[in-house]
Chains A and B, each alone.
Chain A
Amino acid sequence: MSTPQATIEFEDIELPKPPLLARIWDLCRRQPLGAFGAVVVIVMILMAIFANVVSPYHPEHADFTNMLTAPNVDYWLGTDAFGRDILTRIVYGARTALFVGFACAVIGATGGLVLGVASAYFGGIFDLIVQRIVDVVMAFPLIILALAVVATLGTGTENVIIAITIPFIPQCARVVRSNALAIREIPYVDAARALGFSDARIILRHMVPNVMAPYLIMLTAFVGQAILLEASLSYLGMGVQEPTPAWGLMLQGGAEEFAESAPWVPIFPGLAITLAVFGFNLFGDAVRDLLDPKLRTR
């Protein structure tokens, strides 16, 4: 146990804070896979932001004289059946994937956070009802529920986000609730109640900050899942619609037909999806290890 003197000594010496780069380097050495994930995530974000600078063509520019050309100097990854540059569409596709991924993850995890904490805090009949609804939604395989929602709302980017977010909310709510239940038993929550704080204040100021770890873990895990789910829906023709560049969509029409004569059409978009989800998953695993050492072995 450290004594107050130890603290004073520490302050007296004034250890220089290790420079930022050194700390990042240290983190990379402890989490090599996570660091790789972070690099993929950062590259992807930069690619999405500067899509119009990086990519050599316009994503909807169709060059009908160069349909299904093999990768060459002009078209690094070849062209699709409409003569559109595959590299350009992959770069722009990162925008769609990231937009859908982050939107679903943030809305889904935050919705789950509010619902989970409220459910644990109020308990009783409210908790019972919320948990039964969570049971119901979680009994659906993700893709089935998402397909049903898309069928109801129609296709398109916004509706895909809603369709993917709906199954995320109960997943996160369940995890957050079990953490929040433990926190509710800690006396400071009773103390806050005794001080006459409102329910909203206790939930937002006292309970939510203490479930940030599971919240952030779920959030990072959701990004990869959402990107994958969006690609699946788009592949089935029930997601993002042409001419929006989206990776799943690039695998749809023709990818199988041209598989033999133009293998670059299906190969590269699939690699992009895999690398992106892989990166986000590795990054998410590292975040989880850092935030919750108890789970490290999993």
Chain B
Amino acid sequence: MVGRHSLQPMYKYIIKRVLLTIPTLFGAAVLVFLLLRAIPGDVCEIRLAGTGLYADPAEVELCRENLGLNKPKIAQFWDFISGYFTWDLGDSMWTGRPITYEIALRFKLSLQIAIMATLVAIAIAIPLGIISAVKQDTWIDYAVRTFSIAGIAIPSFWLGIMIILGLLIITQAWFGAPWMPPIDYVSPFEDPLRNMSQLIWPAVATGYRYSAVATRMTRSALLEVLREDYVRTARSKGLMERVIINRHALKNALLPVVTIIAIEFAFLIGGLVVTEQVFNLNGLGKLFVESVGAQDFNLTQQLVMLVVLIFVITNLVVDILYAWLDPRIRYS
């Protein structure tokens, strides 16, 4: 399938596609750098005068000098970009600790929620999407579609608040004492039960939201495939409907679904910003809000670049997989 049809060999397509990510990443770096520098004030003012106290101008000046905020903008930009080639992402302007340390501290938690939320989304989306397509235009279809549109409409932070409220009320009623998910993170390898009891709730709150788009995609992709001739052939051979759906239709319908799930996974890290706030989780989203609030330029721009990088890489992988599966894409 790959060799014969393609005008362009696979490796050339991959190289072209990888090179195309460079302007995107560079553009993102320029955009975030300029945005942050346009902010009135800086971390030194917030740190020394943030509580409304009088700040000694000399002290503020010294702080800026130490953090390199007095350097020309272009030099600051150079420090930011050259860091990627020397594997030095710099230090947080607020805590003074290396940014790699600050991120590593919270990455596990955010990654775990992202993975769990994706699993929740898949577990909801694929069965519901299939049922909805098979029972098209029945009340089941309408119920599923309403459920998935509601998933996009419900703010995930409010769903989070409602989950906490529900837990409090139910545990109070059943066990006589209110129970809240633990606040401090433990590794799943250390204490899987405690870990789960903390993270399953935010995973459900975000996963439900992310399932909505995937449910609709599963439904529409399956509906399209079910109209194909080969499905009619399978039906006329007298195959069971279950076999037709599982063996023939689903395999072809899942590609766009996998794509949408992959792309949403990339956005999950960003989507956690509000959920982590509700559940008071010390993850990347919360770190981002804090770093924006403290005007910690270094940390903010590195976090943004991390999110953008995850997104760009996910897209790259999806595009390459597509080109590999469907040679027509490489013609353009």
Contact = CB atoms under 8 A, between A and B. Distances in A.
A100 interface: no
A140 to B, nearest CB: 6
Interface stretch (B25-33, B114-122, B185-193, B229-237): B25-33
Contacts of A278: 149-150, 153
A297 B136 CA distance: 10
Contact of B28 (A140, A235, A266): A140
A263 B165 contact: yes
A143 B273 contact: yes
Contact of B35 (A149, A238, A260): A149
Interface string B184-227: 00000000000000000000000000000000110110011000
Contacts of A141: 267, 269-271, 307, 311
Chain B contact residues, majority secondary structure: helix
A228 interface: yes
B24 A260 contact: no
A148 B292 contact: yes
Chain A contact residues, majority secondary structure: helix
Nearest to B266: A141
A125 interface: no
Contacts of B28: 136, 139-140
Given A33-B145, A132-B27, A259-B164, A152 B307 contact: no
A270 B149 contact: no
B165 A266 contact: yes
B38 A33 contact: no
Interface string B162-173: 101100110000
B278 A236 contact: no
Nearest to B304: A144
Given A147-B289, A277-B153, A260 B168 contact: yes
Contacts of B270: 140-144
Contacts of B55: none
B96 interface: no
A244 interface: no
B154 interface: yes
A273 interface: yes
Contacts of B134: none
A282 B148 CA distance: 11
Interface string A127-150: 000001101110111111001110
Contacts of A33: 142, 145-146, 149
A85 interface: no
A195 to B, nearest CB: 32
Interface string A65-104: 0000000000000000000000000000000000000000
Given A139-B311, A236-B273, A260-B168, A144 B31 contact: no
Contacts of A235: 155, 157, 274, 277
Contact of B36 (A144, A152, A154, A263): A152
- By size class, the interface of chain A is 35 or more
Given A151-B292, A251-B161, A285-B149, A140 B23 contact: no
B238 to A, nearest CB: 27
B110 interface: no
B39 interface: yes
B24 A266 contact: no
Contacts of B31: 136-137
B92 interface: no
A58 to B, nearest CB: 26
Interface string A45-71: 000000000000000000000000000
Interface string B296-332: 0000100010011001100000000000000000000
A192 to B, nearest CB: 28
A137 B32 CA distance: 10
A178 interface: no
Contacts of B271: 141, 143
A274 interface: yes
Contacts of A256: 161, 164, 278
Contacts of A224: 152-153
Contact of A255 (B150, B161, B307): B161
A286 to B, nearest CB: 11
A270 B288 contact: no
B101 interface: no
Contact of A148 (B35, B216, B277): B35
B63 to A, nearest CB: 20
Contacts of B161: 251, 255-256, 259, 266, 270
A147 B292 contact: yes
Given A137-B31, A232-B155, A235-B157, A297 B273 contact: no
Interface of B: 23-24, 27-28, 31-32, 35-36, 38-40, 142, 145-146, 149-150, 152-155, 157-158, 161-162, 164-165, 168-169, 178, 216-217, 219-220, 223-224, 267, 269-271, 273-274, 277-278, 288-289, 292-293, 295, 300, 304, 307-308, 311-312
Top 7 A-B residue pairs of the complex, sorted by shortest distance between their CB atoms? A141-B270, A270-B158, A136-B27, A278-B153, A277-B153, A298-B220, A259-B165
Given A248-B155, A278-B149, A278-B153, 9 more contacts: A139-B308, A147-B288, A147-B289, A151-B35, A260-B165, A270-B155, A273-B158, A278-B150, A297-B224
